[in-house]
Chains A and B, each alone.
Chain A
């Protein structure tokens, strides 16, 4: 697909001399990229467009014959429901709190992985286990530890006389979901930061040390400014990832009375439990728009530093 757009644009930029060799090289390159590009477009671009089309219909799988064009009314229904807005709020809260904690812990972990005097291999190996573990398993581990109903040790250890995972304690539901998220993804954050940390030249630290800068000053004045692009990339990736949170909330705080519901869970429930394709697709498209908006704000707000990093590496 890209070939059509690009062949028309190419001659304008690079005037005449397209040798046979260059042509052959381009042709080979396009053939090599074609399968990956086609698969990616067919499985993401097409479904999202199809989703948009469905969102303009009244389409309920329980009433297959009652299908009609309703314009934007599904969006009206979603955007005027308090459930949607409370789910957006839950998701935002989980995202902001967990990403903030992860940034601090991830930075600490990256520094330990980078600078430790001994045992670096052991630390990296241990840190990769939360990264690699199945999210559902991680969620069960935390749920079993915290749920009094299952006999978890945490409520007992903290002397709680209630079940923190009961739907009547939304605060504790949040705490456990956020802890799970932080545990599972801090190593990933740390690795992205570690990549940036290795780019900070050691000589700068040496020079600053000679000039009498303390470790704290060197961290804030040298490491952090030079790592800004890496920090932004890590924040962008983790924010988008956290906003799509589904697995751990589904396992930890789910059920008929669950107080904690995120936008992804809402989309899932409307689509696959209530089988309302029209309304569910509207939710899907809105989630897509929100994620695109977050990405856009990140790139717009920090565009210069991202571009800077691209130029440097």
Chain B
């Protein structure tokens, strides 16, 4: 212990400060941008000289944005729900049952986790047009749940392995029915893992641009990332900077809220899926 306590505190303090600035500065910049007035938006100043919420009231008046927000929320929630149900079933089998083919399923999931989405965007575009799924909610829900299943299966089976399953038998010996043993004993123990997985899946679906951009064309199913990439300027020569910044903040808020409340869970989920298999 050659270093003094004060020096160590100062060292860690500055390391922490650097990390926080690194992580938050771009968010801070786009937030500041979203509060500028159209006249000062391009002035190159970091802090607005003239604060206004005009950009926000503008975008909420446009159906391009409000419909996209509705689509984003609906599509991300439904994809999350279905992916978590399917993955929970598979992860239960992988964590608790002994069957041939387990390694094959895990290998397949790993292969899909590495799959380049652009390779199937073309065929999906063609297939969806033939099946009538182009520019619909299911047209995006199906690829989202597929691409999140591997992550969900890995994370959930890591969590399920940690559950003390003997408790289920113990409850049954004490006179609980199998259903009671499941709902009263196992479900509460499994809930945190399932919830963590749901957050990770939601973030993926909320985030996607490739599928949303390629497989939709109208307000019927366009999600926010696709919509802001296509925001029109007020005229051909003006940039829709203010609207994009405000819309960007609106889709970032749910992420910030989730991260603030569930930081521990997200970290546990990402590290569990990564190492335990």
Q: Are A134 and B114 in contact (CB under 8 A)?
A: no
Interface string of B153-185 (1 = CB under 8 A from A): 100000000000000000000000000000000
A251→B121 CA distance, assembly (Å):
18
In the complex, residue of chain A having the shortest beta-carbon distance to the beta carbon of B97:
A29
Known A-B contacts: A3-B101, A51-B119, A132-B203. Give 9 more (CB < 8 A): A44-B120, A44-B146, A132-B256, A133-B207, A134-B209, A153-B46, A281-B123, A284-B122, A287-B116
CB-CB under 8 A from A54, the residues of chain B are 122-123, 126
Is A210 part of the binding interface, using a Cβ–Cβ cutoff of 8 Å?
Answer: no
- Given that A29-B97, A32-B92 are known contacts, is A40 also in contact with B241, CB under 8 Å in the complex? no
Cα distance, A234 to B275, chains bound together (Å): 10
- In Å, the complex CA distance between A135 and B228 comes to 12
What are 17 A-B pairs at a CB distance below 8 A? A26-B99, A28-B93, A32-B97, A36-B87, A48-B120, A51-B119, A121-B263, A125-B263, A126-B24, A132-B207, A134-B209, A137-B30, A140-B248, A152-B44, A194-B267, A246-B117, A264-B210
Chain A nearest Cβ from B231, distance in angstroms = 10
Report the stretch among A95-103, A195-203, A216-224 that lies at the interface: A195-203
A72 to B162, CA, bound (A): 51
User: At the interface, yes or no: B191 with Cβ under 8 Å from chain A?
Assistant: no
A118 within 8 A of B: yes
Interface string of B211-243 (1 = CB under 8 A from A): 001100000000011001100000000010100
A2 to B104, CA, bound (A): 7
DSSP class of A's interface residues: helix, strand, loop or mixed? helix
CB proximity to A under 8 Å, residues B231-277: 239, 241, 244-245, 248, 251-252, 255-256, 258-260, 263-264, 266-267, 270-272, 274-277
Q: B146 touching A117 by the CB < 8 A rule?
A: no
Chain B residues in contact with chain A, CB under 8 A? 8-9, 12, 15-16, 19-20, 22-24, 26-27, 29-30, 33, 41-46, 86-87, 89-90, 92-94, 97-102, 104-105, 108-109, 112-127, 142-143, 145-146, 149-150, 153, 203, 206-207, 209-210, 213-214, 224-225, 228-229, 239, 241, 244-245, 248, 251-252, 255-256, 258-260, 263-264, 266-267, 270-272, 274-277
Q: Does A69 have its Cβ within 8 Å of any Cβ on chain B?
A: no
Q: Give the docked Cα–Cα distance between A9 and B26 (Å).
A: 55
Counting contact residues on chain A (CB < 8 A from B), the size range is 35 or more
Complex Cα gap A119–B20 (Å)? 11
Given contact pairs A51-B120, A134-B252, A268-B214, A191 touches B86 in the complex (Cβ within 8 A): no
CA separation between A305 and B19, bound complex, in Å?
Answer: 31
Most buried by A among B19, B229, B256: B19
Q: Taking the nearest CB of chain A, how far is it from the CB of B96, in angstroms?
A: 9
A20 within 8 A of B: no
Interfacial residues, chain A to chain B (CB-CB below 8 A): 2-3, 5-7, 9-10, 13, 22, 25-26, 28-30, 32-33, 35-37, 39-41, 43-44, 47-48, 50-51, 54, 109, 112, 116-119, 121-138, 140-142, 144-145, 149-153, 155-156, 183, 187-188, 191-192, 194-196, 198-199, 230, 233-234, 237, 240, 243-244, 246-247, 250-251, 263-264, 267-268, 271-272, 277, 280-281, 284-285, 287-288, 291, 295, 309-310, 313
